[in-house]
Amino acid sequence: MLDQKLIREDSTFVEKKLSQRGKDIDLSDLQSLTIQIKDTDIELSNLQSESKKLSKSIGIHFNKNNQNSLVNLDELKDKGNALKIKISKLEEEKRVLSSKIKSEILKLPNFPSEKSPKGKDENDNVELRKWGNPSIKDNQKNHWEIGENLNLFDTKRSTKISKSRFTTLIGNGAKLERALINFMLDTHQKKGYVELMPPALVNSESLTGSGQLPKFSKESFKCSEDDLWLSPTAEVPLTAFHKDEIIDFNFLPLKYVAFSPCFRREAGSYGKDTKGLIRLHQFNKVELYWYSEPEKSVEAHQQLTADAEDILRKLNLPYRVVDICTGDLGFSSSRTFDLEVWLPSSRSYREISSCSNCLDFQARRSSIRTKIDKKTSFIHTLNGSGLAIGRTMAAILENGQQPDGSVKIPDQLITYFGSSHIKST
């Protein structure tokens, strides 16, 4: 959430920063509301001060035992009652204004970093580096053909259970998913991440705090009889984990890793990636999340990204790192590095992780603070997939496919999976 004071005092600056995302935003009405609530605050404070002085005067007069004092006391009481009415009216006006302002500010995205490439869409993203040797061969099968041939998952039967864009993992497919989850969690734990397993159902406040609401309400599945939603990513409960807290500065950075099932409607993606494991309504993910000291979040962003990259390297999966341009940034992010893994069947890189520095945007929405030199400040939050399990499985199947139809398991995963190859049975 953006700073209300900044909008009130320099809305032109805020409009200029947000315009880098490719949309012109007029904040004149919102600025007027912030000025109005500031004036209301001042008037309310003055009336409350006057009321306190009046109450003190009434107390003094009440102790005096003469007729003139009693007459004066009635006048003071009348004046006090009038002040209470004015104060009550202003407090209601302030509540209404505060609600309007919050509703509008929650719709505004984060400021892009000055270091993010300037651009309109994904075509303006900038490749930072590559790792590995991408396989470029003819007649490479895509991962869903490999999965069907090896009986690793079944999407057709899954439509009988739920609907399209769900899948059921079978045998070695389920085993590979479980091996990947354990491998990723163990790898990140060894680097100092504390493992959490949060609830899969989250409330509206949690979604608002991380930035999914109100903008992305159509992207999530909501329970009809409760204020609960199926979590679209572990970023949501991990942000809410320390909501309304002041975290001891000496404990920062806090580094969490969480496995969680994720649920998304994939609204607007009709016709895209309808086969396989790339774009499902339900998928598993291992999430990395940092609560960082404000002055160290840039370095934390580099480290979080490196930790996600390390999984790809250990699995020997070729990938590249892309710096996301201002027009393609996620709502809550100030700067994002995407990790894109190589898929031989399409001879292209596909996103497998987005590593984002949200600065104080989510912390301000969720009231997560720390004390620096006795001054309360909002902390910085960072998140990134470490990694998306289904997409990692797809990459392993495609990059590990062998001429005989089997799939070679990455060396560091063999201990977890229990075999060096997946073969037809």
Burial class from Cβ neighbours inside 10 Å (0-12, 13-18, 19+) for residue 250 reads: exposed
Q: Which two tokens stand for residue 422?
A: 């997946």
- pLDDT tens digits for range 183-206: 999 999 999 999 999 999 999 999
Per the model's pLDDT, the better-predicted residue between 354 and 71 turns out to be: 354
**Residue at token pair 């049975």:** 425
Does residue 52 surpass a pLDDT of 90?
A: no
**Phi/psi at 409 (nearest 5 deg)?**
-85, 135
Q: Which of 29-33, 62-66, 282-286, 417-421 is predicted least confidently?
A: 62-66
> What amino acid occupies position 374?
K
Q: What is the rounded distance in angstroms from the CA atom of residue 32 to the CA atom of residue 10?
A: 12
Cis check for the bond before 253: say yes or no (omega within 30 of 0): yes
For the cut 60, the answer to whether the pLDDT of residue 71 exceeds it is: no
Q: What is the pLDDT of residues 307-328, one digit of tens each?
A: 999 999 999 999 999 999 999 9
Residue 321's nearest CA partner among 331, 335, 333, 334 is 335
pLDDT at 70: 53
**Rounded Cα gap, residues 403 and 391, in angstroms:** 22
- Residue 2 binned pLDDT confidence (cut-offs 50, 70, 90): very high
Q: Does the pLDDT of residue 93 top 90, yes or no?
A: yes
pLDDT at 124 over 90: yes
In 63-157, where does DSSP find H-type helix?
67-105, 143-149
The pLDDT, as a whole number, for residue 84 is: 87
The residue among 387 and 270 whose pLDDT is bigger is: 387
CA 73 – CA 75 distance, rounded (Å): 5
Mean pLDDT of all residues in 286-293? 98
Residue 81: pLDDT above 90? no
At residue 119 the predicted structure's pLDDT band, cuts being 50, 70 and 90, is very high
Residue tagged 């003094």 (tokens): 60
* Mean pLDDT to the nearest integer, 338-358: 97
What confidence tens digit (pLDDT) does each residue in 384-400 have? Answer: 999 999 999 999 999 99
What pLDDT does residue 176 have?
Answer: 98
> Residues 265, 241: contact at Cβ < 8 Å?
no
Q: Which of 158-167, 178-187, 271-280 has the lowest mean pLDDT?
A: 271-280
- Domains of the chain, first to last: 4-105 (1.10.287), 122-422 (3.30.930.10)
pLDDT of residue 62: 61
Give the residue-averaged pLDDT of 146-150: 95
Q: Give the pLDDT band (50/70/90) at residue 60.
A: low
Of 67-71, 300-304, 308-312, 411-415, minimum mean pLDDT range:
67-71
H helix and E strand count, the chain: 13, 17
Q: Assess contact for 200 and 261: CB atoms under 8 A.
A: yes
Distance, CA of 127 to CA of 138 (rounded, Å): 26
Reported as a single tens digit per residue, the pLDDT across 14-30 is 999 999 999 899 999 99
Band of the pLDDT at 224, cuts 50, 70, 90?
confident
Helix (H, G, I), strand (E, B) or coil at 407: strand
CA distance 28 to 21: 19
Higher pLDDT: 226 or 64? It is: 226
**pLDDT exceeds cutoff 90 at 54:** no
Of the pLDDT bands very low, low, confident and very high (cuts 50, 70, 90), residue 69 is low
Other CB atoms within 10 A of residue 368 CB: 24
Mean pLDDT computed over every residue of the chain: 93
Average pLDDT of the residues in 217-221: 92
Residues 6 or more apart whose CB falls under 8 angstroms from that of 56 comprise: none
Are 340 and 322 in contact, with CB atoms under 8 Å apart? yes
Residue 21: name the closest of 112, 108, 106, 104 by CA. 112
pLDDT cut 90: percent of the chain above it: 83
Mean pLDDT of all residues in 79-83: 82
